[in-house]
Structure 1
Amino acid sequence: MTPLPAPITPDRWLCQLFSAQTAASGGIVRRQVRDVERLVGRDRFLHEIRRRGFRAVENAGHFVIFCNTEPVHVLT
């Protein structure tokens, strides 16, 4: 029987998110709100977004994170 992996810590989850190739290259990543709230908490998540100078939007149960410092314009 294969042992279950250890639960992921909030620090490890954030590290994995922001070191992913898409995020590291200034791209866009999406995460489910329920996962963020369960694993790291909304306040901590938003603090890390702001600390990096990134932007995020929430829609239909997802966070869309713009992993760059460019402005975000909502067009419609």
Structure 2
Amino acid sequence: KFMDSLQLAAIVTHVADARTCCLHPASTTHRQLTDEQLKECGVSPDLVRFSCGIEAAEDIIADIEQALEKVD
């Protein structure tokens, strides 16, 4: 729900970008691992990887805040 609520951040499977990006490792980059392997790697089901881009910091923070409000 958090990721779906983001408006500025791009939901992508990589983070090597100038724009702010977000991904869910358990279902993307680490999807081939078993639950036990995910746990050993420190990848929990609710882990989200967020990579800040070159947008204004205030805009990134505002996007995170509005998305978190929708999760509660």
- The alignment's TM-score, normalised by the length of structure 1, stands at 0.32
- The alignment's TM-score, normalised by the length of structure 2, stands at 0.34
State which structure, 1 or 2, has the greater radius of gyration over its C-alpha atoms: 1
